[in-house]
Amino acid sequence: MQQIIETTKMSTRGQVIIPKDIRDYIKAEENTIFTVVSLNKDTILMKKMDKKKLLTEFRNIRDSIKGKLSTEEINNEIMAHRKA
């Protein structure tokens, strides 16, 4: 496994640029989605998300509850989780 170490800094708006060598290595393009997790106060972890896999998972979840919940109930659940 190749390991690339680079540095970056956060802008005043909280934006962090992923260095080009790392973007190229992980094949990240514009609009690539990342999940960001704090491991502790000094360490964060970023994981590149696979959009097609994520969409498939959401479609499978939707299909599994189709007919069990109304569109309104689903939307209410989404809103409740967004507020939490």
d(CA 19, CA 54): 25
pLDDT at 40: 94
Give the residue from 57, 56, 55, 38 showing the smallest Cα distance to 47.
Answer: 38
CATH number of 1-49: 2.10.260
Higher pLDDT residue, 1 or 5?
5
> Where does the chain hold its CATH 2.10.260 domain(s)?
1-49
Cross-strand pairs, 16: 10
Q: Which DSSP string do the residues of 6-74 spell out, in sequence order?
A: ----B-TTS-BPPPHHHHHHHT--TT--EEEEEEETTEEEEEE--HHHHHHHHHHHHHHHBTTB-HHHH
For 18-76, the pLDDT digits (tens) are 999 999 999 999 989 899 999 999 999 999 988 888 888 888 887 887 777 788 888 89
Out of 5-9, 62-66, 78-82, the most confident range is: 5-9
